[in-house]
Amino acid sequence: MILRKTKITDIPRVLEIINQAKQYFKENDIDQWQDGYPNSMTIQEDIKNGEAYVLDHDDRILGTCMITINGEPTYDVIEGKWLSEDDYICVHRIAIDNQYKGTGLASIILNEAVALYPQYHSLRMDTHEDNLSMQRFLSKYGFHYCGMITLASGALRKAYEKII
């Protein structure tokens, strides 16, 4: 199993996984990813920026995410306090194929993200306040809740950080 950069030819499979997540959110009354985002253009932009990744096992994509070390502007203002003021790895748009949810693949993605940037000692993520399954995962993985951030759209998100 490897975490590799997403290729343009991977976009249909990546969108299939993202659409599964959108459906899960809809079925669970979570108002996240219900407005057309993320979409093909989002993934193309991530690829262009070198920040799109897939978890590949025997040429089958099982998960997807965006990883950046270029900062996250919406994290500049937090209602709360980050654990660290150092540069950080930020993971967005993490999604796992429904068939493999609960098998530890999200942890593998985060472990691999950390391995990509061993010089960084902080990992940050955010999630919708109703996305309890992601909040449980983040807590289990060792993240600490730091406060609320506001997206460019004005939506609030719970912000988490893990010192690595």
Output the pLDDT for position 134: 94
At the topology level, CATH places domain 2-163 in: Aminopeptidase (3.40.630)
Considering the entire predicted model, what is its pTM?
A: 0.94
Contact 106, 94 (CB under 8 A): yes
- In whole angstroms, give the CA distance from residue 7 to residue 2: 14
% of the chain at pLDDT higher than 70? 100
How confident is the model at residue 34, as a pLDDT? 82
Average pLDDT over residues 110-120: 96
Do the Cβ atoms of 112 and 125 come closer than 8 Å? no
Give the separation between CA 143 and CA 146, rounded to whole angstroms. Answer: 9
